[in-house]
Amino acid sequence: MTDDIKANTKLFTRRRGILLPIFSLPSKYGVGTLGRAAYDFIDILSANGASIWAILPTGVTGYGDSPYQSFSSFALNPYFLDLEMLIEEGLLTEDECSACDMGDDEACDYGKLYQNRLPLLMTAYARATQLEEYESDMKRFDEASPWLDDYAVFMAIKDKLGGKPWYEWDEGLKNRDANAIERIWESIQCEVTFHKFIQMKLAEQWSKLSEYALKKGVLIMGDMPIYCAYDSADCWAYRANFRIDGSGRPIEVAGVPPDYFSETGQLWGNPVYDWKYMKKDGFSFWMARLNRASELYSILRIDHFRGFASYYAVPSDALDAREGEWKKAEGRKLFDMVKASGLNTEIIAEDLGFITRDVKLLLTHTGFAGMQVLQFAFDGNKKNPHLNKRWSGDIRTLKNKVAYTGTHDNPPLAAWWDEADENTRQRAAKYAKGREMPMGLVKALAESDARYVIIPAQDVLTLGQNARLNTPGTPSGNWTWRLKEELLEPLAEGIKRLFD
């Protein structure tokens, strides 16, 4: 190696980690939280050679219960607020929590969580307002959270109107007219302060958990969707940043063009950004998003990174994605500003999919690590960017790759192996060097020279199709898988065999 490549080896630490969404953690009350199981999982990672906990987006889930379609880019998911901690604080009782049907440990039941968990949290809020320190604590948190007012008012109006999306509100509320909001203020004031209270308690629990993770040598890797949901406080409160017209309709929406998988492409429905406005405005919205992420995560994976180089924009009235076109984004200028700001979070780029020269140039310019996915490596194409031989030997490649067995959109590796054709199996077995499959692939990846290796908990446990997190293109039944408590010990043993 040349001297400059040798020097580069000092710029990073080789780490291994596990992907497990917060909602998948074990708990008594229907969904994973920031409570005891999260601390236990950090202990498992720390004790068995893992130093990264990779999670999915932590925002307030909306349409389809997807963490990639959130009501806010800034707020945390109220479902993650740990009830047992609220019991310890005297804000709830165990009997009150046990009396609520929030589902079981088999899968997240978002209908029950919405119907029963939020009213329970309102009880905790009512008790908290009687505490001597409540007003001063809330004032302090409010002043430190510039996004909080817009989010809380948005959610309170939405609650008041039965969940109706903001673009269907009357003209005054839709356009954030001060007089219109003042007219309904008395009827939403309690809900506004309720949503602020929930975010304050989430911030307290998150801060304690993050500090614990760092003390244990574990870095939390967050995940940020590139686009914001149309029905979100972001599009309502910061509309100028999006290609949305004066009536609240998107002018253009995001998607992907026709390809091997779809003759008509895909329409995602998220409004695309107005990059000209953002550039003129100094990228204030993106800087706010990234600064918020730096408060939460040590490492940040940004989804659909290619959209910072060029993005596919489809007229909102188009019947399908064939009418779209590629347009230039301003990612280079944005990330130059991010670098100058000294953002205290490492960024990982999800550079999967249709990657063109402009995307590669942007990735090189930023120096961000890209991704490779083991399940994509064995199609026989010698130029496949996920090809396993690229995971070792060349330090210039090594220091800029984060290797996954699969992501949240892939089937668990065991299910993938069951469905793989014979040619794929032979190539994969060769990479695994004769080890028993499919665990041989997991072990081989764990031993690779990639900068970071991230393995979904399902792959450590060799779980099958019923443990899949998401099947792209399906509108329901996703994001529900939960890890049962009795699997924590086998998970710890499996991590130890892989990493220790």
So which residues are the catalytic ones?
303, 350, 409
Rounded (to 5) percent helix, strand, coil in the chain: 50, 15, 40
Going by DSSP bridges, is the β-strand pair 219-224/52-54 parallel, antiparallel, or unpaired? parallel
Residue appearing with tokens 């870095």: 219
CA distance 324 to 326: 7
Q: Is 345 exposed, middle or buried (0-12, 13-18, 19+ CB in 10 A)?
A: middle
Distances (CA, A) of 112 to 59, 100, 354, 367, 467: 19, 9, 39, 44, 21
CA distance 55 to 24: 10
Pair 91, 13: CB distance under 8 Å: no
Residue 215: other Cβ atoms inside 10 A: 10
Distances (CA, A) of 238 to 150, 278, 305, 334, 449: 9, 11, 22, 18, 43
CA distance 15 to 2: 24
CA distance 328 to 118: 42
Pair 218, 45: CB distance under 8 Å: yes
Residues 6 or more apart whose Cβ sits within 8 Å of residue 372: 385, 386, 390, 391, 401, 402, 403, 404, 450
